[in-house]
Amino acid sequence: MNHAASDDDAERTWCLAEVDIFCDLSEQEMEAIAQAAPMKTYHAGEILYSPTQPSEVLFILKKGRIRVFRVSADGRALTTAIISPGTIFGEMVLLGQHMYDNYAEALDDTVVCVMSRADVHKYLLSDARIAARITAILGQRLADLEQRLSDSVFKTVAQRIATTLTTLTSAQPPASPLRPVGRHPQIALTHEQLAALAGTSRETCTKVLREMEEHGLLRLARGRITVLDRERLQDAAG
């Protein structure tokens, strides 16, 4: 028996088991999809998708976070989505899922499962349960994009930074016996990365973060932000 191949199959199946749209599939159904979804690893800062090299694939995010962003004519980047583990993104016309001129960048070391157009049609769209959940996910993502665009126009820089931090802490998994309830959530981002997510400069972002730290909302360390007071941070987000 090839133990390495067996481990790879188990890893792929586990990858899919963590995704909400596959929550009630049988083990056999999960294994069939896993065979069609090879895993790929990307390091923090790597680009998974670029409009200069478009490809019609669907990514299923297993580990890490993905930033989806577009670049304006004057070089400014606008974040349109932050993808958390257990969901999907990518260019897939069959699903009405478009990247348009967006880039997808790994915020952390990231693992994704990748599905082709043919396999999406065969394994996802043919199952009414999965198709309905995908529709719901894409609808929520559109609502999130509209909110993010509204924030970029109507919120101050400090409010946008607070909103981004609140969003990132909310996306973290719930507490478990191995992760005590009282533990303060931590966000692994540099000031430059957070500035890009909030649509501001690194210098302005650092100034705002230090003010938040002085007021007891956060604790700053190299490449890491610890949220000390979620409620006051949410209030600061407006």
**Do the beta carbons of residue 141 and residue 219 sit within 8 Å?**
no
Q: What digits encode the pLDDT tens for the residues 214-236? A: 999 999 998 889 999 999 999 99
More reliable by pLDDT, 180 or 215? 215
DSSP letter (8 states) at residue 226: E
Give the other-Cβ count within 10 Å of 201's Cβ: 14
Q: Round to whole Å and give the CA distance between 199 and 193.
A: 10
For the residues 185-204, what does the mean pLDDT come to? 88
Tokens of 232: 């006051």
More reliable by pLDDT, 50 or 72? 50
Tokens of 33: 């999809």
What predicted TM-score, i.e. pTM, was given to this entire model?
A: 0.67
Give me the amino acid identity at 185: P
Give the other-Cβ count within 10 Å of 11's Cβ: 14
Nearest to 225 by CA among 184, 193, 195, 187: 187
Q: What digits encode the pLDDT tens for the residues 68-126? A: 888 877 777 778 888 888 788 887 766 666 677 889 999 889 999 888 888 888 888 78
Give me the amino acid identity at 92: M
HSE-up (13 A, CA, CB side) for residue 85: 14
Cα 90 to chain centroid, rounded: 12
For the residues 183-196, what does the mean pLDDT come to? 86
Give first-to-last CA distance, the chain, whole Å: 58
Q: What digits encode the pLDDT tens for the residues 114-164? A: 888 888 888 887 888 888 887 777 777 767 767 776 777 788 999 999 998
Q: Round to whole Å and give the CA distance between 21 and 50.
A: 25
Whether the CA torsion 160, 166, 197, 113 is positive or negative: it is: negative
Q: pLDDT > 70: what percent of the chain?
A: 83
